[in-house]
Amino acid sequence: MDNVLVALGASLLTVVTGMAVTAVRAKQLGKAAVVDVTWGAGFVLVALVTAVVATLSDEGEGWHRLLLLALVAVWGLRLAWHVRSRAIGDHQGQEDPRYAEMLGGTVSEVGIGTVVRRVLLVQGVAQWFVALPVALGMFFDVAIWPAVVVGVLVWGVGFFFETVGDRQLAAYKRRPREERPPVMDEGLWGLTRHPNYFGDATMWWGLWLVGGLASGWVVGLATVLCPVAMTFFIRNVTGAKLLERTMSQRDGWDEYAARVPMFFPRLTRG
């Protein structure tokens, strides 16, 4: 029980510290979207801190801690780097439309207190909760080996969808407007309207298998709602649905949306 409390406390303190730094940076830049960088990097910090604490406490298994840390770090650091220019950018105060809608204005208009209540607090709680399979997994020996193997494979599928989807979208945006379709429907974007978000959710199901379920049925069942929350959060809160409110105004969107599923990919292109 003590190791569980230590894991919960260490991860909570890490998330609170990260969001406090984010609040300061959001006020400086006039952009709530800076939290997108914290979203990826914050999970890496949680994994690192809990891995160090577990090592110092001589809890869990070293190779398991390193595996969890590596999987989270590859995902989180890549994501933070990928979104950095959009989230921080060179134009102070130019807010991401998603966050402008959530806040009802810019940071300078609504104040940093509103940013903390409507964005940072929500994402902080979500980050702490979603990270529990990783934080707890650092402190437990592996009890179910197949869960580790399957989890790594599931994580790999998610990583493929997210990274390839992001690259395909970046290549699409580099094409001259007159030479590209109004809606991106090529590659993985012809299987799901949000391959990057789907990949994100899938990776966290993999991390739940590697960190939560692999640590035993008790830990697995206690943390199964964590990847459920991640999937719900990026599909319905700050991810797919919110983005589609803007994207749905493009020419050709209705036909694209009728043909391609929103989140879970179809098996073949139509």
Whether residue 100 is found in the same domain as residue 31: yes
Which positions ≥6 away from 72 have C-beta within 8 Å? 43, 44, 46, 47, 134, 207
Percent of the chain predicted with pLDDT > 70: 96
Residue 88, φ and ψ in degrees, nearest 5: -100, -60
Whether residue 81 has pLDDT greater than 70? yes
Domain interval for residue 88: 1-141
Whether residue 94 is found in the same domain as residue 118: yes
82-99: pLDDT as tens digits: 888 777 765 555 777 777
Q: What is the structure's pLDDT at 267? A: 78
Q: What is the structure's pLDDT at 1? A: 58
Residue where the block lists tokens 């974007």: 189
Q: What are 191's two structure tokens?
A: 């299987």
Q: What is the structure's pLDDT at 90? A: 53
Whether residue 1 is found in the same domain as residue 131: yes
Q: Which of 84, 117, 141 is the last residue of a domain?
A: 141
Whether residue 82 is found in the same domain as residue 163: no
130-140: pLDDT as tens digits: 999 999 999 99
Whether residue 268 has pLDDT greater than 80? no
| Of 163, 148, 130, the residue nearest 232 (C-alpha) | 130
Residue 93, φ and ψ in degrees, nearest 5: 85, -5
Strand ranges for 105-200 from DSSP E? none
Q: What are the CA-CA distances from residue 57 to residues 2, 4, 136, 139 (Å)?
A: 11, 12, 13, 9
Whether residue 3 is found in the same domain as residue 87: yes
Whether residue 129 is found in the same domain as residue 255: no
Rounded-to-integer distance, Cα 169 and Cα 246, Å: 16
| Letter string b/e over residues 84-119, b meaning 16 or more CB atoms within 10 A of that residue's CB | eeebbbeeeeebbebbbebbeebbeebebebbbebb
43-57: pLDDT as tens digits: 999 999 999 999 998
State the Cα angle at 97 between 96 and 101, rounded to 5°. 120
Whether residue 119 is found in the same domain as residue 249: no
Q: What is the structure's pLDDT at 167? A: 93
* Residue 100: half-sphere exposure toward Cβ, Cα within 13 Å: 12
Whether residue 113 is found in the same domain as residue 1: yes
Residue where the block lists tokens 């309207």: 193
Whether residue 148 is found in the same domain as residue 269: yes
State the average pLDDT over residues 227-243: 84
48, amino acid identity: L
Whether residue 108 is found in the same domain as residue 217: no
Number of structural domains the chain divides into = 2
Whether residue 116 is found in the same domain as residue 3: yes
Q: Which of 126, 141, 156 is the last residue of a domain?
A: 141
- Return the axis-axis angle of helices 35-56 and 2-29, rounded to nearest 10°: 150
| Of 116, 206, 99, the residue nearest 159 (C-alpha) | 206
Q: What is the total residue count of the chain? A: 270
174-191: pLDDT as tens digits: 888 878 888 888 899 999
Q: What are 182's two structure tokens?
A: 């109004």
Confidence of residue 211 (pLDDT cuts 50, 70, 90): very high
Whether residue 166 is found in the same domain as residue 123: no
Which positions ≥6 away from 172 have C-beta within 8 Å? 180, 184, 186, 189
Q: Which of 92, 111, 141 is the last residue of a domain?
A: 141
